[in-house]
Amino acid sequence: MVESEKPVREIRINPIVPSESVLVATARSMRPKKAEAPAPRDTRAHVDTCPFCVGNEHMTPPSIGAYPEGAPWQLRIVENLYPVLGDERENPNLTFGLQQTIDGYGRHEVMIDHNQHGIAVHEMSEEHLALLFSTYRVRMEQLYQSNPRLRYVLVFKNFGPAAGASIAHTHSQFIATPVVPANVQDEVENSRLYYEKNHRCIFCTLIDEALTFEATLYDRESGEIRRKLDVGQFVIERGKKFIAIKPFASRYEWEVHILPLAHQSDFLATTPDDLADLARILRRSMARLDAVLGGAQYNYFLHSVPHAPAYVGCDASYHWHLEICPRTSIPTGFELGSGLFVNTVSPEAAAAKLRAVVLD
């Protein structure tokens, strides 16, 4: 029996954010949730009534940009029709006692990711994916420069009804906020503490561990071999500049993270060469997920070092990455109440399945 087939029941501590630990429980009796077959995603190339489709440009809110410039658009950025954050209000709410608020100031924009309505990421060309990510970079930079109060620009994509995408046409979103989201803040803070103690970036350490093929754990007292780990088992894809990893303590069954192999804290520092390799690794990882899941519906989001004076010292300790979280189940009361996610597929078995997909 190979390691990945043994039943697993253990709490795994997320090395970056320990409060985001996960209960990996693969025995059938431990399954707290059953994934219903999600509503199928819309795969049509063009939909007459879709505001994001070619020919319907007049149906979207004002256009912020279309790319590439001077050619039929492949990507468009528009204002969000229902922004969750907006312009500065003249009379901020008064606060009372424990009821403290922060003004909902910020920017919320939508990027139409492709001129074909229902195209999936793994079906896009690598040239297009490189353009997509370079446009993320350009717009993030513009948003940061537009107002020094904006301290974080979150870029994310919801794909498929199971992932909460309200418009079927493939798109991403930018949300620029005056506060750094708690998830990012936790990652930044914990990696800074790790750096102070170990003088190394924790993400670089994780990558090194993932690339070490085998490790043997010995019993401290007797010196006997306790466990042989095939550490390379978490690698999904490895490119010249990027790596796709199945995190050891994944909250979601099919969660995959993509990181630059060389240390880099800020996504805005990526070069065209970087993005070409990122496009390849992303396309291949998404093709693997799509094949294993029979059509992946997911959220992905970029985590990069925040742009604010307080974060200037985090360049050595923080390492940007893309988190891809396919949605195969909905959180249960146990998960919401405890904050402990339950993962019923062991990350090593999931990685083995993803790696086994034959790509052309």
Q: Are 276 and 314 in contact (CB under 8 A)?
A: no
* Calpha distance 112→165 (Å, rounded): 13
Residue 35 or 269 with smaller CB distance to Zn ion = 269
Residue 204 — left, alpha, or beta (φ > 0 → left; ψ -120 to 50 → alpha)? Answer: alpha
| Interacting positions 212-251 with Zn ion (CB under 5 A) | none
Pick the piece of the chain touching Zn ion (CB under 5 A) from 101-109, 170-178, 248-256, 296-304. Answer: 296-304
* Calpha distance 299→155 (Å, rounded): 11
| Residue of the chain from 22, 23, 25, 50 that contacts Zn ion (CB under 5 A) | 50
| Residue of the chain from 105, 136, 195, 203 that contacts Zn ion (CB under 5 A) | 203
Residue 204 or 244 with smaller CB distance to Zn ion = 204
Pick the piece of the chain touching Zn ion (CB under 5 A) from 140-148, 220-228, 281-289, 316-324. Answer: 316-324
Q: With b meaning 16 or more CB within 10 Å and e meaning fewer, what string describes 75-100? A: bbbbebeebebeeeeeeeeeeeeeee
Query: Could you give phi then psi for residue 96, rounded to 5 degrees?
Result: -140, 125
Minimum distance of Zn ion from residue 57's CB (angstroms): 11
Q: Are 65 and 143 in contact (CB under 8 A)?
A: no
Minimum distance of Zn ion from residue 29's CB (angstroms): 32
Pick the piece of the chain touching Zn ion (CB under 5 A) from 1-9, 131-139, 188-196, 302-310. Answer: 302-310
Is 53 a binding residue for Zn ion by CB under 5 A? The answer is yes
* Calpha distance 119→45 (Å, rounded): 7
| Interacting positions 63-122 with Zn ion (CB under 5 A) | 117
Residue 288 or 319 with smaller CB distance to Zn ion = 319
Residue 204 or 282 with smaller CB distance to Zn ion = 204
* Calpha distance 52→282 (Å, rounded): 24
Half-sphere exposure of 106 (CA within 13 A, CB side): 23
| Residue of the chain from 122, 139, 151, 169 that contacts Zn ion (CB under 5 A) | 169
Residue 201 or 345 with smaller CB distance to Zn ion = 201
According to DSSP, the β-strands at 75-79 and 63-67 are antiparallel
Pick the piece of the chain touching Zn ion (CB under 5 A) from 136-144, 170-178, 216-224, 318-326. Answer: 318-326
Minimum distance of Zn ion from residue 274's CB (angstroms): 14
Give the residue among 273, 41, 296 at the shortest CA–CA distance from 169: 41
Q: What tokens were used for 284? A: 């291949």
> What is the number of H-type helices and E-type strands within the chain?
6, 15
| Residue of the chain from 33, 108, 149, 263 that contacts Zn ion (CB under 5 A) | 263
By CB under 5 A, the count of residues binding Zn ion is: 12
| Residue of the chain from 128, 151, 283, 303 that contacts Zn ion (CB under 5 A) | 303
Residue 169 or 283 with smaller CB distance to Zn ion = 169
* Residues sharing a CB contact under 8 Å with residue 350, sequence separation 6 or more, in sequence order: 246, 250, 253, 254
Pick the piece of the chain touching Zn ion (CB under 5 A) from 80-88, 156-164, 168-176, 336-344. Answer: 168-176
Pick the piece of the chain touching Zn ion (CB under 5 A) from 164-172, 242-250, 335-343, 351-359. Answer: 164-172
Residues of this chain that interact with Zn ion (CB under 5 A) are 47, 50, 52-53, 117, 169, 201, 203-204, 263, 303, 319
